[in-house]
Structure 1
Amino acid sequence: MITLQFLLTAFVVVIAPGTGVVYTLAMGLGRGRRAALAAAAGCTLGIVPALLAAALGLAAVLHASALLFNVVKFAGVAYLLWMAWGALRQTGALAVKPAEARGEGLMRIAWRGTLINVLNPKLSIFFLALLPPFLSGDASRATLEMTSLGGVFMALTFAVFTVYGLFAGAFRDRLLASARAKAWLNRSFAAVFATLAGRLALERA
């Protein structure tokens, strides 16, 4: 079930730049290492609904229902655009700030990371396609096996995102040495998330 082939496949998927990776990098660069860890945890937690949907067969329902798929999709698009607008105004979730987030701020960062994945309807369909080839074939154990594989995928996600975030945090002080660099980062985050929103809007079930 949990084979080397699965681990390699999952690792390649996780390291590929996506919305969660970009968000974690943005938090590392914009808020520091603690914020990056919160982002990584939030993005990982956001995988749970998609994994459960795939394990319980709800992903197939989402795939079959164009209306439901589009409702979730455009909620995700709106959320990404809202984050992009906040970064552009230097006031939102992605805005580069001089101090690391602490306490309640870390909870907000984690919650936003969770929403990024929860509002991505392609994630549950992705699990529906990725996990079944690695199952044993025993129908009575399919749900348990999918959940186990998903747990390994989540662990890899958190580990890789943490590395990304800490790496970004290490360059934070250098990049924030000038107001121009700070403004450039904010505009870059806004552009990237607007692009991700556009890409999500073009996705089909």
Structure 2
Amino acid sequence: MNISFLLTSLAIVATPGTGALYTVAAGLSRGTRASLVAAFGCTLGIVPHMAAAITGLAAVLNASAVAFQTLKYAGVAYLLYMAWGTLRDRGTLTVDENAPEVPALKVIMTGITINLLNPKLTIFFFAFLPQFVHTDRSDAWLPMTQLSIVFMLMTFLVFALYGRFAAAFRDKVVARPSVVTGMRRTFAGSFAALAAVLAFEV
């Protein structure tokens, strides 16, 4: 395994983004188990991007401005939806011991959608993986798949660590409603800010 691949992947995975933000929110609101489920969902959201890169569809997306812009603005819209839901409905960040359990499938699907609508992941896989694979090989898809699985595993572990760390502070958050309100606003603002960054990226 190339050490450069591992270090670069770790740097990319550890950089806070929408998936990490969602996992932290799950950990703060519903504890360790929910954060692990959220991390799993975000990790599954990488699969379509990985498949696109391996099959060559990423090249089409990279070459088509319309396709890229469509996916990008779908992602922007979903991030704004997450911001609104966090601020208004308190569905993304609700710290309440008596609140009904959020179905694991719903948490997973939200995590999948967050990463599925992130066009930067497809471009990342398209531009990043070939640097560590001899693409002229007839079986180049095999090492690309192996490296992608390693990247997904790193994503899950790092996100799970973020979520576990957030869950450790859950009791302190539950005891202070004012902190909950502030966090909801912070998370909503963060989702909106990430949407703005994605919208204005070229």
Decide whether the 8 Å contact of 1:31 with 1:101 is kept in 2: no
Residues in 2 aligned to 1:123 and 1:35: alpha-carbon distance in whole angstroms: 24
Residues in 2 aligned to 1:183 and 1:90: alpha-carbon distance in whole angstroms: 12
Residues in 1 aligned to 2:82 and 2:7: alpha-carbon distance in whole angstroms: 32
Counterpart residue type for residue 110 of structure 1: I
Gaps of 5+ in 2: none
* Post-superposition offset of 1:175: 1.6
- Pair 1:200 & 2:179 matched: no
Which residue pairs with 1:124 in the alignment? Answer: 122
Which residue pairs with 1:15 in the alignment? Answer: 14
Task: Give the CA RMSD over aligned residues.
Answer: 1.5
Which residue pairs with 2:52 in the alignment? Answer: 53
* Post-superposition offset of 1:96: 1.9
Residues in 2 aligned to 1:197 and 1:31: alpha-carbon distance in whole angstroms: 25
Residues in 1 aligned to 2:139 and 2:33: alpha-carbon distance in whole angstroms: 38
Which residue pairs with 1:32 in the alignment? Answer: 31
Q: Secondary structure at the match of 2:138?
A: helix
Which residue pairs with 2:142 in the alignment? Answer: 144
Identity of aligned residues (%): 52
Which residue pairs with 2:67 in the alignment? Answer: 68
* Post-superposition offset of 1:136: 3.5
Residues in 2 aligned to 1:164 and 1:111: alpha-carbon distance in whole angstroms: 19
Residues in 1 aligned to 2:192 and 2:178: alpha-carbon distance in whole angstroms: 21
* Post-superposition offset of 1:68: 1.0
Q: Secondary structure at the match of 1:17?
A: coil
Counterpart residue type for residue 6 of structure 1: F
| 1:123-159 CA-partner distances (Å, limit 9, x unpaired) | 1110111111111455212111111100000011101
| 1:35-59 CA-partner distances (Å, limit 9, x unpaired) | 1001100000000000011111111
Which residue pairs with 1:156 in the alignment? Answer: 154
Which residue pairs with 1:168 in the alignment? Answer: 166
Residues in 2 aligned to 1:51 and 1:203: alpha-carbon distance in whole angstroms: 22
Q: What TM-score do the two structures reach when normalised by structure 1?
A: 0.93
Residues in 1 aligned to 2:57 and 2:7: alpha-carbon distance in whole angstroms: 26
My pick for the range that moved more, 129-138 or 10-19, is: 129-138
Q: Secondary structure at the match of 1:117?
A: helix
Residues in 2 aligned to 1:184 and 1:106: alpha-carbon distance in whole angstroms: 26
Which residue pairs with 2:79 in the alignment? Answer: 80
Gaps of 5+ in 1: none
* Post-superposition offset of 1:97: 3.0
Q: Residues 72-111 of structure 1: matches in 2 within 5 Å?
A: 72-92=71-91, 94-99=92-97, 102=101, 105-111=103-109
Q: Secondary structure at the match of 1:139?
A: coil
Q: Runs (4+) of structure 1 moved beyond 4 Å?
A: none
